[in-house]
Structure 1
């Protein structure tokens, strides 16, 4: 299975019926395609939409109806559109039940870095609304590939990049494992199909303990 699809499917398994959810750019947005049967979730787009529906066919896409990543969206019955300032205020208010963010790095303290990398001596790009989401949402899930292109761990003892949110991440989902964030240590809950505990140990910098219920990912 494509590792990005695996992550999106596992993220979808965290969604509960009736929740109000924000999905960040990239892999998080794909989770809406894999919701468990019978689970209905209202999705929010930070540019100012509550009630985001499925992606439309290309022929039905409208340039002025998109999510925050400029991808075309549809609106479900009862959807609400608002200005960006109102949307950001809602994000900070605590009304969102769950936020799923892509990440460049996460660490065992629940910190997340997902907005800045250094290229040619300059930081790129901008932070967007992720900081507001980290502040205003009780359940923040980080999803990312477990290692970078050179095979180095992105699950760290301490983030090295500028932080998006501090001590806010509750769950980490990668192409290899699922962790909960404990007290200064990660708790390994699940492994991806075909991935062993030894594989995870070999590619994880962060300290972690293994849950008594450690098992294969539920997809």
Structure 2
């Protein structure tokens, strides 16, 4: 009754409209890249300074100078470019990205996002470019598992972890469901086959409404 991470990434990729400019964050979001076709003309941005990023084709040689923000090898679409980190952040902060896809630890029913620190004493963590992305992108979508490894909800009434941004998340894709953040809270758009509403609500730390 759960989607795999690949199925989650594919479900999100289907909902991005052709021609969009999209940033992919570190972690689970990088898997989304493989589900777009060149003819969709989706322009993919990486915060370390790439625009027009694409997945390597089978057998294609790796360029050691062409890595995304997750330090994974990628390639460029025809017409793609790479540039200084400062120019990349100007794109992020300047409202030039249609969508930003991030991982998450928690999302609140208001759309607050916590995705950079588990708040553990003595553990070094840095928010990086995530705080710039959540205020600069036109829409922020989150790709994450519905609960923690010990079964605690990641979708909550109030985030208990250090925040990345306030009221910034518009949509969440999990292994159990796809949800929108609305003024009334979490609205369920779809649920994995075989999972009933009561079970989904039990795995969620805030009230749900259903489309």
Tell me what 1:175 maps to.
175
Paired with 1:58 and 1:164, the residues of 2 have a C-alpha distance of: 38
CA distance change for structure 1 residues 117 and 58 in 2, over 3 Å: closer, same or farther? farther
CA contact (8 A) 2:3 2:175 kept: no
Please identify, of 25-34 and 94-103, the stretch whose mean Cα deviation from structure 2 is larger: 25-34
2:106 equivalent in structure 1:
105
Kindly state the Cα deviation for residue 33 of structure 1 after the two structures are TM-superposed. Answer: 1.6
Matched, 1:76 2:39: no
Q: Give the drift of 1:9.
A: 1.0
Identify the range of structure 1 (34-43 vs 15-24) with the bigger mean alpha-carbon deviation. 34-43
What SS does the corresponding residue of 1:9 show, helix, strand or coil? helix
Are the structure 2 counterparts of residues 37 and 112 from structure 1 closer, same or farther at C-alpha, using a change threshold of 3 Å?
same
Matched, 1:45 2:58: no
For 1:216, the equivalent position in structure 2 comes to none
Cα distance change of structure 1 residues 75 and 38 upon mapping to structure 2, 3 Å threshold: closer
In structure 1, the residue corresponding to 2:171 is in which secondary structure? Answer: strand
Structure 1 SS opposite 2:180? strand
The answer as to 2:13 corresponding to 1:6 is no
Alignment CA distance shift 1:125-1:182 (3 Å): same
Does residue 164 (structure 1) correspond to residue 171 (structure 2)? The answer is no
Q: Are positions 1:34 and 2:30 aligned together?
A: no
Q: For residues 70 and 36 of structure 1, what CA distance do their matches in structure 2 show?
A: 22
2:133 counterpart SS class: helix
Q: Deviations over 1:189-217 (max 9, x none)?
A: 11012222121011001122112xxxxxx
* Structure 2 residue runs without a partner (length 5+): none
Q: Is the 8 A contact 1:110 1:166 kept in 2?
A: yes
Q: Distance in 2 between matches of 1:10 and 1:71?
A: 22
- Which residue pairs with 1:150 in the alignment? 150
Q: Which residue of 2 aligns with 1:215?
A: none
For 1:122-161, list aligned pairs within 5 A: 122-161=122-161
Q: Secondary structure at the match of 1:122?
A: coil
SS in structure 1 at match of 2:119: strand
Inter-CA distance 19–161: structure 2 relative to 1 (3 Å threshold)? same
Q: Which runs of 5+ in 1 are unaligned?
A: 212-219
| TM-score normalised according to structure 1 size | 0.90
Aligned length, in residue pairs: 210
Superposition TM-score, scaled by structure 2 size: 0.93
Does the 8 Å CA contact 2:3/2:192 hold for their aligned counterparts?
A: no
What is the CA–CA distance in structure 2 between the aligned matches of 1:116 and 1:54, rounded to whole Å? 28
